[in-house]
Amino acid sequence: MNNAINKCTTHVLNYHWYKPKFISGVGCMNHNHERSSLSTTSNALAAVNSKPRSHSINYVSSDYESLDYDHYESELTVREEKLNGYKTVVATNVIRWLIYFSIAICTAVVGIFIDTVIEYLCNWKFQSIQNCIDVKHSTVECLIIWILFTVIPTIIGCCVVLFMEPSAAGSGIPFVISYLNGVRIPRMTAVRCLLVKVISVVCVCAAGLGGGKEGPLIHIGAMVGGSVVEAWWKSFRNGPGRKIIGPLQNDQERRDMMAAGAAAGLSAAFGSPVGGTLMSLEEGTSFWSSSLMWKVFFCAAIAFPTYNAGKNVLFTNNSNPSESVHSKSIYFFGKFNENTIYFSYSEFPIFVIFGIFGGVFGALFVNINYRLSIFRMKHITSNRKKLLESVFVAVFVAIINLTSIILLNNCQTKLEMSSFNAVHVCCRCIVQQGVIMK
């Protein structure tokens, strides 16, 4: 019996334990290839001895470890605080608030940059199509131009993610939630990941695919939070400010600042500072405190007006900051006329029916998306397949969009505050001087 245990223990020590491990019913074997009678030992070592299933989603990986959120208090830390003095503690608190302010400003600037590039690319796209209509009046050439303006940004965005920074794939919100709950995500705050994320978001929105910048802005805000605190540390670590900035270089402070960055990203995307704070509280940070709530809200409240004022200055040439902050574009869903916002009690059954249909179709959508995600994880594994998949989706979406515009001849008057880079399924983009393509 002891020999069997020794054989199993030796096998565990010699196994590459850092690889993904799976739970199965295989136990350890002794030198005669007989199953050991120690069921406890077999079950404990099953995760190590078993082989990983290819492209499975139910695995436990040791690539991810937990963050250290414990606050250490010992004689050494107390002695260091006494030696630094009270002024150092006050200076650290001031620098902490300045870092949160910097996170808000940087997140807003990144959001403004994304919107500016998207606006420019979409204007170029629609003007090229209108010029094709004015000069050649050819549906085929317009379709080719539309497909090119959809496929090329898609290929660029897909290539930078696949070959430069795969960790920038997706919305990034699951990564943010995992990090804020104590899971150390590799390359979570890498500057290259931030740049690739910005490029991919711009390409997706410019191509007109079914994706937006709102979700990725949360991930971008979190990465900005981690990058800003790292920039502050590199700026002051070699000077007298090392004692001031040093206490902010730990997992707890970095987590709080990334939570503030995520809230700032949501605030800039949806125009809701309170919503960003509540998102960080409910969905993200498990280690919450009243002081952190004020810091997160401060960051979200600064990011929102900065983002809105910058957009208005660039897009409307309005240099008055007060008018830019209070403009109509601060409303994410638009500003509605108060005279039209009324309902009668007889309409409540209609609202209930809408809610039922929304719940049913929402559950159906989640189920289909879950099955489709599993299928893609099992079969679309190589970078070549992923690139071909993105190109196929881009071509399909481009054909459907232009076909819908041609068939659904429902021209509408362009609203004053409508977004030019949004995907409108109408013939607005291909109507010029009364000529409608058919």
Q: pTM for the whole thing?
A: 0.72
pLDDT of residue 368: 95
Token couple for 197: 């994320």
Residue 29 in 3-state DSSP?
A: strand
Q: Which H, E and C letters describe 55-99, residue by residue?
A: CCCCCECCCCEECCCCCCCCHHHHHHHHHHCHHHHHHHHHHHHHH
pLDDT of residue 226: 86
Kind of pairing, strands 65-66 and 183-184? antiparallel
To which residue do tokens 């910048």 refer? 213
pLDDT of residue 340: 62
For residues 272 and 70, the answer to whether their CB atoms sit within 8 Å is: no
The count of other CB atoms within 10 Å of the CB of residue 295 is: 21
Query: In 106-204, where do the E strands start and end?
Result: 183-184
Query: In 264-312, where do the E strands start and end?
Result: none
Question: The domain 81-337: what is its CATH number?
Answer: 1.10.3080.10
How high is the mean pLDDT in each 10-residue block of the chain (438 residues)?
Answer: 43 37 39 41 45 47 66 76 80 90 93 90 86 78 86 91 86 84 80 90 88 85 88 79 78 86 88 85 74 90 88 70 52 58 81 95 94 89 88 88 75 52 42 37
Domains of the chain by residue range: 2-63, 81-337
